[in-house]
Amino acid sequence: GAGVSQSPRYKVAKRGQDVALRCDPISGHVSLFWYQQALGQGPEFLTYFQNEAQLDKSGLPSDRFFAERPEGSVSTLKIQRTQQEDSAVYLCASSSRDGDSPLHFGNGTRLTVT
Amino acid sequence: GQQVMQIPQYQHVQEGEDFTTYCNSSTTLSNIQWYKQRPGGHPVFLIQLVKSGEVKKQKRLTFQFGEAKKNSSLHITATQTTDVGTYFCADTEETSGSRLTFGEGTQLTVNP
């Protein structure tokens, strides 16, 4: 009965390093979302998967950001050549279907780029 | 793009006082979801409103959806210290049918 699991919980990267953030959604949840949350702000949409298909990646801020969900369950968000402005909490959420379904969020990964 | 505005940004109350946060949009909202995020935590779903003029209650929390579906509110009666956190409204963008657009949130602190 686990919820959405994200790892690592904290990540410190030097500027220019690549990072990979993992999300393990609730079993059976079709939809998976990635959000970025800066301090004191609301979550900002990054990308959305329905099963293994990435249906919307319009929120990814640059081509340094890449997400995948190859088998329709676990998802990875990769950030290449990290910059200081990438520092934020990255939240993963899943839902049983798309559209109006409530999102179940993980605890997030706090990324700090030094 | 679609924007959902929330006011106030911060609210400090004494325990036992009431609290209200408002969510406004210049465009018609398809539906509204409300989430609560405790300090250091992640957003947790509270409720969804779909119909124009809809009112839903959860114990001391009352959620309303405006008649024109352009605004929503969350009212907490007799706040408790456990109500501390940031309250977000979020709307599904009609064009995408999938992404939730979150407001900036209202951060509530409750003094015991």
Which residue from A28, A6, A3 is spatially nearest to A75, judged by alpha carbons?
Answer: A6
Work out the average pLDDT over B55-69: 97
| Residues B69-91: tens digit of each pLDDT | 999 999 999 999 999 999 999 99
Query: Which of chain A's residues have a Cβ under 8 Å away from the Cβ of B33?
Result: 102-103
Is there a contact between A92 and A4 (Cβ–Cβ < 8 Å)?
A: yes
Q: Is some CB atom of chain A closer than 8 A to the CB atom of B56?
A: no
Q: Average pLDDT for residues A52-70, to the nearest whole number? A: 96
How do beta strands A5-7 and A109-113 pair? unpaired
Q: What is the pLDDT, as a whole number, of residue A98?
A: 62
What's residue B97's pLDDT? Answer: 60
Q: Distance from A52 to chain B by nearest Cα, in Å?
A: 15
Q: For residue B73, what are the CA distances in angstroms to A51, B35, B41?
A: 34, 12, 22
Contact yes or no for A45 and B97 at CB 8 A: no
For residue B23, which amino acid is it? C
Q: How far is A33 from chain B (nearest CA, A)?
A: 8
Looking at residue B83, the DSSP 8-state letter turns out to be: G
Report the sign of the C-alpha dihedral through residues A28, B98, A4, A53, in that order.
positive
Rounded to the nearest angstrom, the minimum Cα separation between A99 and chain B is 4
Give the phi and the psi of residue B31 in degrees, each rounded to 5.
-155, 165
A103: contact with B, CB 8 A cutoff: yes
Amino acid in the structure at residue A51? N
**Interface contact A91-B43, CB threshold 8 A:** yes
Interchain pair B31, A100: CB under 8 A: yes
Beta strands in chain B (DSSP E): 5-7, 10-14, 19-24, 32-37, 44-49, 55-58, 61-65, 71-76, 85-92, 100-102, 106-111
Q: With bands split at pLDDT 50, 70 and 90, how would you rate the model's confidence at B92?
A: confident
The model's pLDDT over A67-112, given as tens digits with 9 standing for 90+, comes to 999 999 999 999 999 999 999 999 999 998 765 789 999 999 999 9
Tens of pLDDT, residue by residue over A3-48, are: 999 999 999 999 999 999 999 999 999 999 999 999 999 999 999 9
Q: pLDDT by residue (tens digit) across B19-58? A: 999 999 988 988 899 999 999 999 999 999 999 999 999 9
Across the interface, do A45 and B43 touch by the CB < 8 Å criterion? no
Q: What is the mean pLDDT of chain B?
A: 93
| Residue A107 with chain B: CB contacts under 8 Å | 41-42
